[in-house]
Amino acid sequence: MTDRSKITTVNSSVPTDWKSDAMQARIGRRYRRERIFRSLGLAAVVISVLFLVFLLGNIVKNGAYGFMQTSVSLDVTFNADLLGDPSVLSAEEFTEKVRKTNMLRLIQASMRDLFPDVKGRRDTRALLRLVSTGARAQLRDMILANPSLVGNTERVELLTSDDIDQVIKGNIDITLAEANRKVKDKELSWLKTLQDDDRISLDFHSQFLTGGDSREPELAGVWGAIVGSALTLMVTLVTAFPIGLFAAVYLEEFAPKNRFTDIIEININNLAAVPSIVFGLLGLAVFLSVMGMPRSAPIVGGLTLALLTLPTVIIASRASIAAVPPSIRDAARGLGASPMQVVFHHVIPLAMPGIMTGTIIGMARALGESAPLLMIGMVAFIVDIPGSINDAATVLPVQIYLWADSPERAFVEKTSAAIMVLLFFLIAMNGVAIWLRQKFEQKW
């Protein structure tokens, strides 16, 4: 207190003693506080950046292996006794016979050659479980595509089961006590034999990008979800773009300034902030139960997302239309164009880059949206690739949600890989939007 009173300068006509110790100490304190404040700001930015790096790094680290799959090379003898002889049977008969054949027996035979010591039902079954359940379909398709294989022995690369795959990728801790892990010692010793024989390989797995969903992680692919997303977005684009553009044109160019347009405007702003799940409820109540549209279909998902993105499109389009200078309108009107011609021949073409940018950003948001789609049943397990907007389908984010819920360890990397695919599309869309903005940006 006494210190403070020294620097009190009430009513004094003498200059403040800035050099006094009390004042110097005070200034030191103020600068310290300044530095703390500044570092808090910097810390906030750094935390955000670090979090993003952590998030993306984590996903890439987990997801990189999602694009790869372990396979095992087996010498499979395409036994003519089992499969039938394509030179004797007609094409249909042969196909029929192959379809009915249990391909596991081919695998079993080749395994027996590799592991002659393995006896007993349980061990044999465990041995066969090293190979993915999808291997059967893989073999069958091979034979049907190339019937001349029958009677020969070929070295075939078959997918391993997801557990073995996880061991190879190092995601299962094999130092744990045997009882605590899914893959037992015996299986590991077989795996070791196969590895020593150079039969195990970890390769890029194209089925992940071209296949549909599956219960088995090693067979699951994102193509079905990508197609579903594409169909859904198509519906969204076809609906939201013209309606959003028209609404923006009306509000910006034609609407009288009255209470009613005020209400519309406030409405659009509020609609932009309504939680997305509420739009899902709307879709459920209106599209599904009142209009009786098909559940899980991209048409319903697309319409729901269209309602969701409509405010974004309208707001972006309006901003872009408003940025076109009035002089252009005056010039066109001076040449005798009707108001409608002014807008459609001059204003909209000039505003188009901005409108497109806004629309693409809206679409990108719709692409990442999942909550409203859960409401309208796009969460079903769907193996087939959807062919039309009326087929049951799922979309990428919902596929991610479904996989994230799956208990298998292998789905973690599949989920991360699917996230990478989703982020790739988002980055691509935003990249296009940025490119459009920069290419056509005009300063009026």
Partner 1 sequence: MAMISFALIRQRSVAVVGGATQQLHSLPRYHGYFAAVRVFIPCIFLFLLWLVGGEAVIENLIISGLPDALKSTNSEQISLVLNRIQLAVQHGEQSTSDANILAAAERYSSLYNKGLWSTFWLTVAIGLTGYYLSKNRTQANFRARNNFEKTMSITLAASSFLAIVVTLGIVASLIFESLRFFQQIPIQDFLFGLHWSPQTALRADQVASAGAFGAIPLFAGTFLISLLAMMVAGPIGLFAAIYLTQYANQRVRAVAKPVLEILAGVPTVVYGFFAALTVAPMLRDAGGAIGVDVASESALAAGLVMGVMIIPFVSSLSDDAITAVPSSLKDGSFALGATKAETISQVLLPAALPGVVGAFLLAISRAIGETMIVVMAAGMRPNLTANPLEAVTTVTVQIVALLTGDQEFDSPKTLSAFALGLALFVITLLLNIAALRMVRKYREAYD
Partner 2 sequence: MINTPTETNLDTVQASPKMAARGVNVYYGDNHAIKDIDLNLYADEVTSLIGPSGCGKSTFLRCLNRMNDTIPICRVSGQILLEDDDIYTSGIDVVQLRARVGMVFQKPNPFPKSIYDNIAYGPRIHGLAAHRTDLDEIVTTSLEKAGLWQEVKDRLDTSGTALSGGQQQRLCIARAIAVNPEVILMDEPCSALDPIATAKIESLIDELSGRYAIIIVTHSMQQAARISRKTAFFHLGEMVEYGDTTEIFTSPKEDRTRDYITGRIG
Using CB under 8 A, list all residues that contact partner 2. 1, 4-5, 7-13, 15-16, 18, 23, 26-27, 30-31
Going 122 to 124 to 130 to 135, the CA torsion angle's sign is: negative
Compare residues 374 and 436 and give the one whose CB is closer to partner 1.
Answer: 374
167 CB-contact burial (10 Å; exposed 0-12 / middle 13-18 / buried 19+):
buried
Q: Does 25 bind partner 1 (CB under 8 A)?
A: no
Q: Does 335 bind partner 1 (CB under 8 A)?
A: no
For 388-410, b/e burial (b = at least 16 CB within 10 A) is ebebbbbbbbbbbbbbeeeebbb
Residue selected from 107, 350, 375, 393 as contacting partner 1 according to rule CB under 8 A: 375
16 makes contact, choosing from partner 2, partner 1, none, with CB < 5 to 8 Å by partner type, with: partner 2
Q: What single-letter DSSP state applies at residue 319?
A: H
Long-range Cβ contact pairs of 175-184 (< 8 A, separation 24 or more)? 184/126
Q: What is the Cα–Cα distance from 149 to 146, expressed in whole angstroms?
A: 6
Q: What is the Cα–Cα distance from 353 to 358, expressed in whole angstroms?
A: 9
377 contacts 280 by C-beta, under 8 angstroms: no
Compare residues 156 and 288 and give the one whose CB is closer to partner 1.
Answer: 288
Residue carrying structure tokens 């103020």? 30
8 makes contact, choosing from partner 1, partner 2, none, with CB < 5 to 8 Å by partner type, with: partner 2
We find the least distance from the C-beta atom of residue 359 to partner 2, in angstroms, to be 38
Q: Does 368 bind partner 1 (CB under 8 A)?
A: yes
209 makes contact, choosing from partner 1, partner 2, none, with CB < 5 to 8 Å by partner type, with: none
354 CB-contact burial (10 Å; exposed 0-12 / middle 13-18 / buried 19+):
buried
Compare residues 12 and 180 and give the one whose CB is closer to partner 2.
Answer: 12
Residue selected from 25, 137, 176, 285 as contacting partner 1 according to rule CB under 8 A: 285
Q: Does 279 bind partner 1 (CB under 8 A)?
A: yes
Residue selected from 267, 323, 325, 431 as contacting partner 1 according to rule CB under 8 A: 267
377 makes contact, choosing from partner 1, partner 2, none, with CB < 5 to 8 Å by partner type, with: partner 1
We find the least distance from the C-beta atom of residue 10 to partner 2, in angstroms, to be 5
381 makes contact, choosing from partner 2, partner 1, none, with CB < 5 to 8 Å by partner type, with: none
154 contacts 75 by C-beta, under 8 angstroms: yes
Residues 6+ apart with CB under 8 A from 300: 283, 287, 288, 293, 294, 376
- Which parts of 309-328 interact with partner 1 (CB under 8 A)? 310-311, 314
74 makes contact, choosing from partner 2, partner 1, none, with CB < 5 to 8 Å by partner type, with: none
269 makes contact, choosing from partner 1, partner 2, none, with CB < 5 to 8 Å by partner type, with: partner 1
Q: Does 74 bind partner 1 (CB under 8 A)?
A: no
Residue-wise DSSP of 127-160: HHTTB-THHHHHHHHHHHH-GGGTT-EEEEEEEB
We find the least distance from the C-beta atom of residue 207 to partner 1, in angstroms, to be 22
Rg (CA), the chain: 33
55 makes contact, choosing from partner 2, partner 1, none, with CB < 5 to 8 Å by partner type, with: partner 1
We find the least distance from the C-beta atom of residue 5 to partner 2, in angstroms, to be 5
Both structure tokens of 7 = 């620097």
